[in-house]
Amino acid sequence: MRPTTTGASASALSADPPLAARVPLDLLDRRLLFVTGKGGVGKTTVASGLALLAARQGRRTLVCQSDAKGDLADAYEVSGLEFAPREVQPHLFAMAMDTESSLREYLRLQLKLPLVAKVGPLARAFDFIANAAPGVKEVLTVGKYVWEVRERHYDLVVVDAVASGHIVGQLAAPQAINQLVQVGVVRNQTSWMLDILSDPAQTGVVVVASPEEMPVNESLELAARIRDETTVDLAAVVVNRVLPELFGRGEEEVFVRLRRPERVVALSGAVGGDVGPVLDAAELAVTLRRTGAGHLATLRAGLPPALAMLYLPYLFSRAVGLRATHRIAEALAEELGR
């Protein structure tokens, strides 16, 4: 089957992709990447692949999980991740975000409060406020990532971030806090956070999409909201789960003729079994690919022409575990021209 991650097949998906879209990216040269997208499109898959690729190239990399699902641990085949980063592959460290630990670290480092013992009820009370007060939880989360960047603990921080519905609120939180909170430590913190977040050379958002109707619509909406409501740069759109193209030029007509009854009979006789359903399956595959290509064209047309798009193949065999993560990393490397 034809590879789908090459520039050639990617371009076959949309009518006329602008040249800029195929230029290799500086993606991994940034310091902080937020990988987001609609639920289930492959945020964890892409984030784990990007981080593994960066680490394989020798970058000291931190990859962070934002939800409690544990999928990131599965991607590297390690047991449950914790707030304290752990080396899961050479040069690759993984952690799980949790706002209570983030708060504790923050209090210890920023306020020099040796509160660790009393932090239980404090955290519960704080949790309540943080849930009710806009932006507080978000700042604690994003703040941790940005802080790792500022302290130069890692060359690259990759965040397996929250889904489309929540990412804008998170990325916009420092500004929101800046407006809502007039004094206090939080406010003092937000200005350096904003400096790093707003710098395209350092920070970028990677939106993961898949070639389906709803994910495409949601990605377009998300791209617009990132542009309008946050100061963070949209670095790339990764289209995951791209089905392979079966036939090259002229071959589809050959396939159609091959389906004539007398030729199906002849072929079945020659292989010693009914090829009818096998040909049906190929037709299904062609249809699915074509439907997907239509949605991709919509996506490409709706995004800024200069925005980079990367294409990752649909993995037919089980798409979980370290082996799959390596395959995704390789596909990303190919797309990035590295």
Ligand X SMILES: Nc1ncnc2c1ncn2[C@@H]1O[C@H](COP(=O)(O)OP(=O)(O)OP(=O)(O)O)[C@@H](O)[C@H]1O
Residues 51 and 154: beta-carbon distance below 8 Å: no
The answer to the question of residue 40 lying near ligand ADP (CB under 6 A) is: no
Sole window of 147-155, 193-201, 225-233, 258-266 interacting with other proteins (rule: CB under 8 A): 258-266
Sole window of 37-45, 103-111, 191-199, 312-320 interacting with Mg ion (rule: CB under 5 A): 37-45
Q: Please report how close the Cβ of residue 291 comes to ligand ADP at its closest, in angstroms.
A: 9
Dist. CA 120–CA 100, nearest whole Å: 9
Dist. CA 214–CA 265, nearest whole Å: 41
- If the CB atoms of residues 44 and 203 are measured against Mg ion, the closer one turns out to be 44
DSSP secondary-structure letter at 19?
G
Binding track, positions 209-228, relative to ligand ADP; x by CB under 6 A:
----xx--------------
Which of 83, 100, 198, 255 touches other proteins (CB under 8 A)?
Answer: 255
Q: Please report how close the Cβ of residue 308 comes to ligand X at its closest, in angstroms.
A: 18
The answer to the question of residue 39 lying near ligand X (CB under 6 A) is: yes
89 to each of 73, 148, 226, 284, 300, how far by Cα in Å? 12, 19, 32, 40, 35
What are the φ and ψ backbone dihedral angles of 135, each rounded to 5 degrees?
A: 90, -20
Contacts of 108 (CB under 8 A, 6+ apart): 114, 115, 116
Residues 218-277 that bind ligand X (CB under 6 A): 240-241
The answer to the question of residue 250 lying near other proteins (CB under 8 A) is: yes
Dist. CA 68–CA 73, nearest whole Å: 10
Is 97 strand, coil or helix? coil
111-138 b/e with 16+ CB inside 10 Å = b?
Answer: eeeeeeeebeebbeebeeebeeeebbbb
Residues 275-314 that bind ligand X (CB under 6 A): 312, 314
Q: Which residue is nearest to ligand ADP (CB)?
A: 213
Dist. CA 96–CA 80, nearest whole Å: 9
The answer to the question of residue 169 lying near other proteins (CB under 8 A) is: yes
The amino acid present at 264, given as its one-letter code, is: V
The answer to the question of residue 80 lying near other proteins (CB under 8 A) is: no
- Residue 56 interacts with, from Mg ion, ligand ADP, ligand X, none (CB under 5-8 Å by kind): none
Q: Count the residues of the shown chain that bind ligand ADP, applying the rule CB under 6 A.
A: 2
Site residues (CB under 6 A) for ligand X?
37, 39-45, 69, 71, 163, 240-241, 312, 314-315, 319-320
Q: Give residues in contact with ligand ADP (CB under 6 A).
A: 213-214
